[in-house]
Amino acid sequence: MSLKVVAGAGATGIPTALLLAEAGNQVRLVSRRGSGPHHPNIELVTADAADTDRFAEIVRGAATLYNCAVPPYDSWPELWPPLAGSLLTAAERTGADYVMVGNAYGYGPVDGPMTENLPLAATTSKGRVRAQMWLDAEAANDSGRVRATEVRAHDYIGPGAMSYYTLTVQPTILSGEPAVFFPADLDARHSWTYTVDTARTAVAAGDNDQSWGRAWHVPSTADISVRQLTDLLAQATGTPARLTAMTRDDLATLASSDTIIAEVQEMLYMLERPAILDSTETRRLLGVQPTPIEKVIAEIITTGDKPSQS
């Protein structure tokens, strides 16, 4: 098998590294802290991926580079461009294929299911950052400088998942307390992405010659509302499903003293309307099928899952 490099030892980077290692590949898992799972095929590397020269040396000889890194949520406009540029440059210099793990922010507000061929029409700063990352990689792909693809997820749940839901509703429901979500339509259907399914999609995309120059949507573990997901979690834990949504004024008050929560305000459009990812192409061409929501919830309960960062 071959050498693979994974940037980011968080909720998607770790399962991506494990899947690659378990398939017999040699894996370099790179993060600022050098953290990650102990596996005979995984080398834990401490490095700053924004240091292009150093990172290119780490990638040299690798068949594929997987970008699973995530800067702090309140620093995306400042930190993502140099980091993404460094990763893309490293892939170009070394000849490694480049698989990005992204999300649906770049589409902007959408009426109806989202497909991969939608224009990137982001209306927020974080959405424009994500869109530009793909446009840069796509341009490099189209000019023959690198083979690049992007795997796009939606609302995360699962091991170490960092999402609006896992930061607010999930921990309080698991503790049997009433849960309060951000301002939202609690009955609007959303696509929920299991972290491991994102890793499975990234690995499948990196192994498929049809992948390059296009994006893929991770198959959702469920397309249900926040209220329905909370009901399922509560039923599985035997606790009451007590759920309310805070007001915009409540959010503004919290945001005044918390820079992470402040970033939620521009993304509220995603919570106030249905948000469904169409993953037909991923299922048909990459053969990735979603993990059932019941299995995901059972894992959350068993692990007492807490969000983590790479």
Sketch the domain layout of the chain as residue ranges.
Answer: 3-156+194-219+277-290
pLDDT digits (tens, 9 = 90+) for 222-231: 999 999 999 9
Q: Is the pLDDT of residue 51 over 90?
A: yes
Residue 52 carries which side chain, given as an amino acid letter?
Answer: T
| Confidence bin at 133 (pLDDT 50/70/90) | very high
- Please check whether residue 161 is in contact with residue 169, taking contact to mean a CB–CB distance below 8 angstroms: no
Q: Is the pLDDT of residue 27 over 70?
A: yes
pLDDT at position 1 is 79
Give mean pLDDT, residues 210-225: 98
pLDDT at position 160 is 87
Q: Is the pLDDT of residue 38 over 90?
A: yes
Q: Distance between CA 103 and CA 164 in Å, rounded?
A: 14
Q: Is the pLDDT of residue 274 over 90?
A: yes
Q: Is the pLDDT of residue 310 over 80?
A: no
Say how many CA atoms lie within 13 Å of 293 toward its Cβ. 17
| Confidence bin at 306 (pLDDT 50/70/90) | low
Burial class of 169 by CB neighbour count within 10 A (0 to 12, 13 to 18, 19+): buried
| Confidence bin at 308 (pLDDT 50/70/90) | low
> Measuring CA to CA, which residue among 138, 139, 146 is closest to residue 91?
146
pLDDT at position 17 is 98
pTM of the model: 0.96
pLDDT at position 264 is 97
Give mean pLDDT, residues 34-46: 97
Give mean pLDDT, residues 239-247: 95
Assign domain 3-156+194-219+277-290 to its CATH superfamily.
Answer: NAD(P)-binding Rossmann-like Domain (3.40.50.720)
State how far Cα 43 lies from the chain centre: 22
pLDDT digits (tens, 9 = 90+) for 62-76: 999 999 999 999 999
State how far Cα 125 lies from the chain centre: 18
Q: Is the pLDDT of residue 307 over 60?
A: no
